[in-house]
């Protein structure tokens, strides 16, 4: 099985995702260029963090029109796994592969800090190697990370257990203080109804070795490997 990591011109976490998958996980990965229409046989697509096309308009708003995204959307419609991290999450929302939207952080400032995430659902192809309710320490780094969705959309997410990660405090409570950006219901990551597309604002690819502050992010990639390779 093979990961495919997309590089948009303004991607800046593509190297990190590539290294996490190849070095820390030991899997194989292909770099995918935004101008191409070729997924190079990748089984799992990662849309990495960054500023895809500058994001002067609205984060991810232009990326959805890029050539590679046509293939990514096709891949997702066929049930292929897609993981969007940070800017990747924004692109997935803009592309309609995930419901809701990511707005400017409530405090109107970029925020980079290590947050605590609670695993809300381990019944996904992205989280099956975690325990339900497990607390993870993973960094966020974004200006537009405030997840929002209308009431009925939120109800559907909750009913279908599509909320995968929430921002919580050290004791595991989804408190307002633990919410770094004002996301609705402290939502940090969601999957689509079918369960093959996940978006999350925090950066699991940055915490895959003890040297860089722990391995809490590795489970996301291990989960994919476990499910897709099985």
Partner 1 sequence: MGATPRAGDPIVTPALIAEHGLTPEEYDRLVRMLGRTPTFTELGIVSALWSEHCSYKHSRPILRTLPTRAPWVLQGPGENAGVIAVGGGLAVAFKIESHNHPSAVEPYQGAATGVGGILRDVFTMGARPIAMLNSLRFGSLDSARVRYLFAGVVRGIGDYGNCVGIPTVAGDIMFDPAYEGNPLVNAMCVGVMREDELITAKAQGVGNTIMAVGARTGRDGIHGASFASEDLSHESDAKRPRVQVGDPFTEKLLLEASLELIRSGHIVAIQDMGAAGLTSSSAEMAARGDVGVSIDVSRMPVREEGMTPYEILLSESQERMLVVALRGHEAAVRGILAKWDLEAEVIGEVIAEPVYRVTEGSHVVAEFPGSRLVTDCPIYTPEARESTEVQRKRAVDVQAIAERPEEADLAWTLRELLSAPTIASKHWVYRQYDQSVRSSTIVGPGPADAAVIHLRGTRRALAVKTDCNGRYVYLEPRVGGQIAVAEAARNVACTGARPMAITNCLNFGNPKRPEVYFSFREAVGGMGDACTALGTPVTGGNVSFYNENPMGAVYPTPTIGMVGLIDDLAHVTRAVFTTPGQSILLLGVPREELGASEYLARVHGIVAGAPPRCDLAAERRLIDALLDAIRAGHVASAHDCSEGGLAVAIAESCMISRDAACGAEIDLTAWNDVSDRALLFGETQGRIVVSTDVPERVLEAAGRHGVPAATIGVVRPADAGLTIRLATRRLHSPVSALADAYHGAIPAIMSRVASAVLDDDLLPAGN
Which residues does the annotation mark as catalytic? 86, 203, 205
Q: Residue 73 and residue 54: Cα distance in Å, rounded?
A: 21
Classify residue 78 as exposed, middle or buried by CB count within 10 Å of its CB (0-12, 13-18, 19+). exposed
Residue from the set 100, 145, 189, 195 that interacts with partner 1 by CB under 8 A: 145
| Shortest distance in whole angstroms from residue 44 CB to partner 1 | 19
According to the binding rule CB under 8 A, does residue 142 interact with partner 1? yes
Residue from the set 103, 135, 141, 160 that interacts with partner 1 by CB under 8 A: 141
According to the binding rule CB under 8 A, does residue 182 interact with partner 1? no
Residue from the set 5, 6, 13, 98 that interacts with partner 1 by CB under 8 A: 13
Q: Residue 38 and residue 190: Cα distance in Å, rounded?
A: 27
Nearer to partner 1, 41 or 170 (CB): 170
Compute the CA torsion angle 175, 154, 163, 200 (nearest 10 deg).
-90
According to the binding rule CB under 8 A, does residue 216 interact with partner 1? no
Q: Where are the beta strands (DSSP E) in the chain?
A: 2-7, 28-33, 44-47, 82-85, 101-103, 111-119, 135-142, 146-148, 163-168, 187-191, 197-200
Contact 190, 174 (CB under 8 A): no
| DSSP code string of 190-206 | EE-TTSSEEEESS-GGG
Residue from the set 26, 41, 171, 211 that interacts with partner 1 by CB under 8 A: 211
Tokens for 213?
A: 């502050």
According to the binding rule CB under 8 A, does residue 10 interact with partner 1? yes
According to the binding rule CB under 8 A, does residue 106 interact with partner 1? no
Nearer to partner 1, 122 or 137 (CB): 137
Closest CA to 21 of 226, 227, 228, 225: 225
Q: Segment near partner 1 (CB under 8 A), from 74-82, 121-129, 206-214, 221-229?
A: 206-214
Residue from the set 192, 203, 216, 225 that interacts with partner 1 by CB under 8 A: 203
Residue from the set 3, 5, 55, 64 that interacts with partner 1 by CB under 8 A: 55
Tokens for 182?
A: 């004002």
Q: Residue 39 and residue 22: Cα distance in Å, rounded?
A: 17
According to the binding rule CB under 8 A, does residue 214 interact with partner 1? no
Interaction site with partner 1 (CB under 8 A): 9-13, 15-16, 19-20, 49-51, 53-56, 59-60, 86-87, 89-90, 102, 104, 108-113, 139, 141-145, 170, 201, 203, 205-206, 208, 211-213
């Amino acid at each position: 099985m093979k990961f495919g990591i997309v590089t948009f011109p303004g991607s800046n976490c593509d190297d990190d995702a590539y290294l996490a998958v190849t070095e820390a996980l030991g899997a194989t990965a292909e770099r995918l260029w935004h101008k191409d229409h070729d997924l190079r046989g990748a089984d799992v697509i990662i849309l990495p963090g960054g500023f895809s096309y500058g994001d002067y308009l609205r984060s991810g708003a232009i990326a959805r029109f890029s050539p590679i995204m046509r293939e990514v959307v096709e891949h997702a419609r066929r049930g292929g796994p897609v993981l969007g991290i940070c800017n990747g999450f924004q692109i997935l929302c803009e592309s309609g592969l995930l419901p809701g939207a990511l707005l400017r952080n409530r405090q109107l400032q970029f925020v980079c800090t290590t947050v605590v995430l609670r695993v809300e659902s381990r019944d996904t192809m992205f989280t099956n190697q975690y325990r339900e309710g497990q607390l993870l320490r993973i960094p966020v780094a974004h200006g537009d990370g405030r997840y929002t969705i209308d009431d009925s959309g939120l109800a559907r997410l909750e009913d279908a257990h599509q909320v995968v990660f929430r921002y919580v405090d050290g004791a595991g409570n989804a408190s307002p203080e633990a919410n770094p950006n004002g996301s609705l219901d402290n939502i940090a990551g969601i999957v689509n109804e079918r369960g093959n597309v996940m978006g999350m604002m925090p950066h699991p690819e940055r915490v895959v070795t003890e040297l860089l502050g722990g391995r809490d992010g590795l489970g996301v990639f291990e989960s994919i490997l476990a499910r897709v390779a099985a």
